[in-house]
Structure 1
C-alpha cells in the first residue's frame, strides 16, 4: 500500500493531467485534486505536478497570463510541498537549431507567435531561480494517447473533424514535421524526475518526428475520411529535440508506436 505518498495535480481535468491522475490512482497513490482557481492550502501538498497552461494566448491573453504564470508563482510561494514539477513546452525551441537544455532560448518580442513562448520562458525562469532545488521544469513535446476531449491541438482537431465532418483540412505543407511522444512514456519519466534527478530542467520528447501527411493518413486508415491539402508552399518543421539528458540518466526510450496507437485513440475519443 502506498497511501502515505501524496501527489497534487493542478490541471487535472486536461489531457495530460487526467492521464496522470488515472496512472497515480491505478498505482494506489493518494492523489489530491485542487478546486479550480484555488491557490493556497493549509496542508502540505507534497509532490506537485503543475499541468495548467492555456494555449489560447492570442484570443484570451489574460487567462493565458493567469494560468501559465500567475497561478504558478502564487502556488509555489504560498504552499508547503516536497517536490514541484512545472510542465513547460518544447515550443520554446521555435526556430532554434540547438535544442539542448543548456542552449539559450530565442524570443522575438515583436512577433505574436512568441507570446506563448514568452510566458513559458518567464515561468521557467521563476521556477529555476528559486533556491529550492526540488522545483523542476519539464519541456514537453506534443502528446498522443487516450482521454482526448475537446482540445484545440492538431491531433484531437484532426480526429474530431475526421469523425464529424468526414474530412481533414491541412493548411500547411504535408511534409511539415511534428514531434509526438506517447503520454505513457511521459508520465513515467515525470514521476522519475520528481523522485530523483540530477538536473532541474529536462526535455521530454520523441527521438523521431512525424510528417503531417503521416499523421493524416494514419487517421484516414481508421475513419476513411477525405484529406484536403491547401497552402502547400508553407512548410513548418518542429525542431528535432535533444533528449540526450533523459536518455543517459533514465535510459529513456520512446516507444514510437503512433501508427499502432491511432485506432484505439479514435475509438475512445470523446467528442
Structure 2
C-alpha cells in the first residue's frame, strides 16, 4: 500500500511520514523541493501543506497552500484517496463543533483569512466529485521539542528555558490539544478506511493554561506570572464522537509526554 504525503517537511507531515514507514507502508514524501515528482498514482494522498502563525503577513501564500495547490491536485492527480488536512480553528465563531455544523467567518477580520482559506479548501474537496476525498480537521497538535514550534506551547517552552513564563492570557484559558502520534495513526486510518467526508482529529478535552504552566514549572523549576487583566480565551469543546465511534479512538494524555515536549528525552 502506497502513501504520498504532501507537505512532508512540515511538523505534521514529517511525523506522519515517520509513522507510516514504521508501520511498513511505502511512502513518498513530497515537499516544496520535489513537488514536481508527485506524478502517477499517488495512492493514499495526505495533503499536509499549510501555513499557520504567519498567514496574516503571507495572504497569497496562504491561499496557494490551502486552496490552489489542493484544487490542482484534485483536478489532475491520480489517487486512491485524498485526505485534506484542515483545522478545528474554523470553529472559532461557532458554538457547535459537529463536523456537519454551520461555520462562519468574517472577511474584514484579518485573523479569519486562515479560516476562510481552510473552508474554501474543504469546499473544493467536497465539490470535486472525486471518490475517496476526505477532510481531517486537526486540533492543536503537540509533539517532541515544542520549543522549536511557533505555537503557544512552544512559546511556553522557550520562556521556561529562560527561567520565567509570562502569560498574556488568563490561567483559565483553555484549548484542545492532541499528541502527534495519535494524529498520525488517525490520519492513516481515515485515509484507508474512513466512511465519512469530514473528521475532527482532536482529544475532545480542553487543557487549561493553568495545567500547562503548572506542569512545565514543576518540571523545569521556572517561575510564572500572568499579565494584569489578562483576557480569558477559550474554544468550544471539539466533538470527537465520530472518531470514537468509527475508530475506537482514545486520546493519549498530552501532559504524559512533557519530557518529550520539553526535549528532555530523545524524540
Distance of aligned partners of 1:141 and 1:42 in 2 relative to their CA distance in 1, 3 Å threshold: closer
Answer yes or no: is the 8 Å Cα contact 2:137–2:201 preserved in 1.
yes
Answer yes or no: is the 8 Å Cα contact 2:135–2:199 preserved in 1.
yes
Q: Secondary structure at the match of 2:224?
A: strand
Structure 2, unpaired ranges of 5+:
none
Answer yes or no: is the 8 Å Cα contact 1:185–1:254 preserved in 2.
yes
Residue 80 of structure 1 corresponds to which residue in structure 2?
78
User: RMSD of aligned C-alpha atoms?
Assistant: 1.9
- Trace 1:142-221 onto structure 2 (pairs within 5 A): 142-146=140-144, 148=146, 150-163=148-161, 165-221=162-218
Structure 1 distance, partners of 2:109, 2:12, is 28
Structure 1, unpaired ranges of 5+:
none
The structural deviation recorded for 1:148 is 4.0
Residue 262 of structure 1 corresponds to which residue in structure 2?
258
TM-score of the pair, normalised by structure 1: 0.91
Structure 2 distance, partners of 1:33, 1:81, is 15
Residue 8 of structure 1 corresponds to which residue in structure 2?
4
TM-score of the pair, normalised by structure 2: 0.92
Structure 1 residues 140-149 or 60-69, which shifts more? 140-149
Distance of aligned partners of 1:172 and 1:192 in 2 relative to their CA distance in 1, 3 Å threshold: same
Structure 2 distance, partners of 1:69, 1:151, is 24
Answer yes or no: is the 8 Å Cα contact 1:7–1:29 preserved in 2.
yes
Residue 48 of structure 2 corresponds to which residue in structure 1?
51
Q: Secondary structure at the match of 1:58?
A: helix
The structural deviation recorded for 1:234 is 1.2
Q: Secondary structure at the match of 1:67?
A: helix
Structure 1 distance, partners of 2:193, 2:228, is 46
Structure 2 distance, partners of 1:231, 1:172, is 9
| Regions of 4+ moved over 3 Å | 39-42
Aligned pairs, how many?
264
Q: Secondary structure at the match of 1:9?
A: strand
